[in-house]
Amino acid sequence: MGSLQNGLFGGFNGRVGNLVGYILNGKNVIRTIGHSGKPLSPARKINCDRMKIVNDFLHPVTPFIKLGFKLKVLGTDRNYYNEAVSYNKKHAITGVYPNAEMDYSKAMLSMGTLLKAENPQIQLIGTAIEFTWDVPDDLPWENRKDRAMLQICFPGNTQQTHCLSASHREDGKHTLQIDPSLVNARIEAYISFIKADGSAISDSVHAGSIAKKEKVAEPEIEKQDLIEKETTSAHKTLKALKKPAVNIQLTLATNTRIAAQHSHFLWQNSSNLKLNYTLFPT
What three-state secondary structure class fits 88? Answer: helix
CA distance 189 to 46: 27
- The predicted pLDDT at position 212 comes to 93
Mean pLDDT of the chain: 82
- The predicted pLDDT at position 272 comes to 41
Reported as a pLDDT band with limits 50, 70 and 90, residue 267 is very low
Beta-bridged to residue 31, according to DSSP, are 20
| Chain segment 144-171, per-residue pLDDT in tens | 999 999 999 999 999 999 999 999 999 9
User: Is residue 103 predicted with pLDDT exceeding 90?
Assistant: yes
- The predicted pLDDT at position 3 comes to 61
- The predicted pLDDT at position 265 comes to 42
- The predicted pLDDT at position 37 comes to 74
DSSP label of 250: E
The whole-number average pLDDT for the span 20-43 is 74
DSSP string over 165-191: S-SBGGG-EEEEE--GGGTTS-EEEEE
**CA nearest 102: which of 49, 66, 161, 163?**
49
The whole-number average pLDDT for the span 22-38 is 70
The whole-number average pLDDT for the span 218-224 is 57
The whole-number average pLDDT for the span 49-73 is 97
DSSP string over 15-80: EETTEEEEEETTEEEEEE-S---SPPPHHHHHHHHHHHHHHHHHGGGHHHHHHHTTTTSTTSS--H
- The predicted pLDDT at position 197 comes to 95
CA distance 245 to 89: 74
CA distance 101 to 56: 11
- The predicted pLDDT at position 259 comes to 44
- The predicted pLDDT at position 1 comes to 54
User: Is residue 13 predicted with pLDDT exceeding 80?
Assistant: no
Report residue 83 CA to chain centroid gap: 22
Percentage of the chain lying above the pLDDT 70 cut: 68
- The predicted pLDDT at position 10 comes to 63
CA distance 191 to 207: 6
Report residue 16 CA to chain centroid gap: 41
The whole-number average pLDDT for the span 237-253 is 52
Percentage of the chain lying above the pLDDT 90 cut: 60
- The predicted pLDDT at position 241 comes to 57
User: Is residue 87 predicted with pLDDT exceeding 70?
Assistant: yes
- The predicted pLDDT at position 214 comes to 81
- The predicted pLDDT at position 237 comes to 63
**Distance separating the N- and C-terminal Cα atoms of the chain:** 89
- The predicted pLDDT at position 12 comes to 64
Reported as a pLDDT band with limits 50, 70 and 90, residue 4 is low
The whole-number average pLDDT for the span 220-243 is 61
Of 273 and 184, the one with more pLDDT: 184
| Chain segment 168-199, per-residue pLDDT in tens | 999 999 999 999 999 999 999 999 999 999 99
Burial (CB count within 10 angstroms: exposed 0-12, middle 13-18, buried 19+), residue 188: buried
Q: Are 11 and 3 contacting, i.e. CB atoms less than 8 angstroms apart? A: no
